[in-house]
């Protein structure tokens, strides 16, 4: 059994990426999974002036949580074909604590959006960035047309092809983190 930390890169209280996190993490029952909502942390906009005053406590908290876990499940949201400023800010702060803050972490990286591309641009951006911080992305997928493919009230994927794809990715991720 591995320890997994899961969170979305969104600060929206109705985040579809957080809903996707909840759906995926319930499939990882053979592991110990902790789901965080980053929006509940007090992380100011990064600036060199604030950094000189000291790393914020919630940034240190998140950094320690990442260190404590064997693997990560992260779902990034997309605004204007990029990651959200909120998530970019979290990454900026973490990289100031430790440039290689993801070292040794195996990552399942996902993105969901209401559009046809499923947040693919944000997903690709993060795929390029995380290895710079030491992370190993071992599985990834984008989930398009979220509202058409998910029953949000029951947190069920109603599109059979998407459901099969997620089952396969989660199964592979679970197997790979146990190796």
pLDDT in the model for residue 2: 96
Number of compact structural domains in the chain: 1
CA 142, chain centre distance (Å) = 12
pLDDT per residue as tens digits for the range 120-176: 999 999 999 999 999 999 999 999 999 999 998 888 999 999 999 999 999 999 999
- Separation between Cα atoms, residue 103 and residue 14, nearest integer Å: 31
Question: Is the distance from CB of 61 to CB of 34 less than 8 angstroms?
Answer: no
Q: Would you report the helix, strand and coil content of the chain in percent, each value rounded to 5?
A: 45, 20, 35
* Cβ(102)–Cβ(83) below 8 Å: no
- Compute the average pLDDT of residues 174-179: 91
Range of the domain at 154: 3-178
Identify the pLDDT of residue 155.
Answer: 84
Q: pLDDT tens digits for 26-54? A: 999 999 999 999 999 999 999 999 999 99
Give the per-residue pLDDT at 179. Answer: 78
CATH number where 22 lies: 3.40.50.360
Helix (H) or strand (E) holding 83: strand 82-83
pTM of the model: 0.95
């Amino acid at each position: 059994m591995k320890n997994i930390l899961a969170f979305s890169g969104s600060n929206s209280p109705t985040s579809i990426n957080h809903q996707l996190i909840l759906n995926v993490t319930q499939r990882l029952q053979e592991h110990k999974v902790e789901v965080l909502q980053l929006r509940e942390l007090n992380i100011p906009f990064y600036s060199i002036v604030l950094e000189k005053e000291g790393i914020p406590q919630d940034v240190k908290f998140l950094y320690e949580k990442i260190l404590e876990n064997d693997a990560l499940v992260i779902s990034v949201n997309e605004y204007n074909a990029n990651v959200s400023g909120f998530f970019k800010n979290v990454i900026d702060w973490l990289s100031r604590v430790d440039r290689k803050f993801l070292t040794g972490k195996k990552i399942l990286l996902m993105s969901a959006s209401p559009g046809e591309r499923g947040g693919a641009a944000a997903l690709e951006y993060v795929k390029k960035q995380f290895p710079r911080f030491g992370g190993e992305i071992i599985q990834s997928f984008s989930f398009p047309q979220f509202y058409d493919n998910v029953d949000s009230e029951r947190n069920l994927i109603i599109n059979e092809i998407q459901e099969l794809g997620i089952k396969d990715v989660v199964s592979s991720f679970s197997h790979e983190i146990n190796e």
